[in-house]
Amino acid sequence: MIGLALVALAACSPAQSSTATSPTSGMDMPSSSQSTPDKPVATNTVSIKNFTFDPASITVKVGTTVTWTNADQDPHTVTSDGKSGPLNSKPLNQGDTYQYTFTQAGTFSYLCTIHPFMTATVTVTP
C-alpha cells in the first residue's frame, strides 16, 4: 500500500515540478543580439579594470559628465584617439578618477596611451 502511494506521488511530481521550476514560462527572454558586448550601454561611468574600459561602448546625452575610475594597479589614461579630441587625462593611478562633460553630439573613440590596445567609444546624442 505504501508502494502504491509512492508511485502515485511520483506520477504527480514531474507535472508539478516542471511548472514550479520553470520561471521563464510565459516570459519573453531577450534575444542574444540584445546582450552583445559591443552594443553601447546607457551609463555615465566607466571602470578601468583588467586592462579594459568597462563598458567599452557607452551612449550619453549632450551635457552628461562621464566618470572613469581606475580599478587596476597599473596606471592608465583616457585619451582621445587621433590628434585632436576632448579626452586627455593624466595617468590615473589605482582609485583615481577622470571626468569629462560632453558638450556636443558625436562619436568619440579613446584609448589608454600607456596600453594602446585598450580602446573604447563614447557616443553622444542630442
38 pLDDT band (50/70/90 cuts)? low
**Mean pLDDT, range 65-94, rounded to an integer:** 95
Question: In this structure, are residues 63 and 69 in contact, taking their beta carbons and an 8 Å threshold?
Answer: no
Comparing C-alpha atoms, which of 62, 64, 59, 70 is closest to residue 104?
Answer: 62
**Mean pLDDT, range 1-29, rounded to an integer:** 39
Q: What grid cell was written down for 78?
A: 583616457
Task: Please determine, for residue 60, whether its predicted confidence score (pLDDT) is greater than 50.
Answer: yes
Tell me how crowded residue 126 is: count the other CB atoms within 10 A of its CB. Answer: 7
Mean pLDDT for all residues in the chain: 79
**Mean pLDDT, range 89-103, rounded to an integer:** 98
Tell me how crowded residue 23 is: count the other CB atoms within 10 A of its CB. Answer: 7
Q: Is the pTM of this model over 0.75?
A: no
Comparing C-alpha atoms, which of 73, 77, 71 is closest to residue 115?
Answer: 77
Of 32-36, 54-58, 63-67, 120-124, the poorest mean pLDDT is in 32-36
Q: Are strands 41-42 and 52-54 parallel, antiparallel or unpaired?
A: unpaired
Comparing C-alpha atoms, which of 46, 50, 47, 48 is closest to residue 58?
Answer: 46
